[in-house]
């Protein structure tokens, strides 16, 4: 058996012996930083191919994902054992310590909360629109951002034209029993 030749790693430039199974194409050593660089280079090569440019975008891919989800119902549903063994606990919003004037901080507090928890915002949009497709979430996010800018900057042209059904899309709400009013009559008397 002939000894394997050593190669120079393309990331750290140290000499290493390639794995015999990957002898023809291994160009990075097994150090964690070099493996990460190898993965990044591989992804760059894949994304630079013409047929992969719009792999995750467009109506065709939305239909592809919808067809796959229809063919695999319940795939995204978790079983009881997976729910009980969470890898990470829910993150709680950090309290903001207020010193001095509070008027200037009121707008920043909401902004900090939303910027600190983008996954919560994405989940909320997906829940409200009843769609987990990235295109739908992005479109709704743009509409919500425009609505927020109109509110914050007091845009008088759009005042009073906000309709929750057209802005956020259809909202079916959580399934459950009808609401019950306690402590008074339903007529409000």
Q: Report the number of distinct structural domains present in the chain.
A: 2
Supply the pTM of this predicted model.
Answer: 0.34
Q: Can you give the pLDDT at residue 37?
A: 96
* 27 belongs to a structural domain: yes
- Residue 141 neighbours by CB under 8 Å, 6+ apart: 121, 122, 125
Q: What is the mean pLDDT of each run of 10 residues along the chain (189 residues)?
A: 83 93 91 96 92 82 89 79 57 63 53 62 83 83 84 66 49 55 57
* 92 belongs to a structural domain: no
Q: Can you give the pLDDT at residue 86?
A: 57
Query: Do the Cβ atoms of 12 and 31 come closer than 8 Å?
Result: yes
* 136 belongs to a structural domain: yes
* 87 belongs to a structural domain: no
* 12 belongs to a structural domain: yes
* 90 belongs to a structural domain: no
The phi, psi pair for 164, rounded to 5°, reads -60, -35
* 19 belongs to a structural domain: yes
* 126 belongs to a structural domain: yes
The DSSP element (H or E) to which 47 belongs, if any, is helix 32-47
Q: Please return the burial class of 120, using the count of CB atoms within 10 Å of its CB with bins 0-12, 13-18 and 19+.
A: middle
Q: Transcribe 61-116 into DSSP letters.
A: HHHHHHHHHHHSTTTTPPPHHHHHS-SSPPPPPPP----S-STTHHHHHHHHHHHH
Q: Can you give the pLDDT at residue 153?
A: 84
Residue 31 sits in which domain range?
Answer: 8-52
Q: Can you give the pLDDT at residue 159?
A: 46
């Amino acid at each position: 058996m002939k000894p394997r030749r050593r190669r120079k790693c393309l990331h750290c430039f140290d000499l290493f012996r390639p794995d015999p199974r990957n002898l023809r194409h291994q160009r990075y050593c097994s150090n964690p930083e070099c493996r990460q660089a190898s993965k990044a280079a591989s992804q760059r090569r894949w994304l630079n191919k013409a047929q992969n440019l719009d792999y995750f975008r467009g109506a065709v891919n939305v239909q592809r994902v919808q067809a796959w989800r229809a063919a695999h119902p319940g795939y995204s549903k978790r079983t009881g054992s997976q729910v009980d063994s969470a890898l990470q606990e829910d993150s709680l919003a950090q309290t903001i310590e207020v010193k001095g004037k509070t008027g200037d901080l009121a707008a920043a507090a909401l902004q900090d909360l939303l910027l600190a928890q983008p996954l919560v915002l994405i989940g909320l949009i997906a829940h409200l629109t009843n769609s987990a497709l990235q295109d739908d979430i992005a479109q709704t996010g743009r509409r919500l951002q425009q609505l927020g800018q109109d509110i914050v900057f007091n845009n008088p042209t759009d005042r009073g034209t906000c309709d929750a059904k057209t802005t956020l899309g259809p909202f079916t709400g959580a399934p459950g029993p009808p609401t019950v009013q306690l402590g008074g009559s339903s007529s409000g008397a």
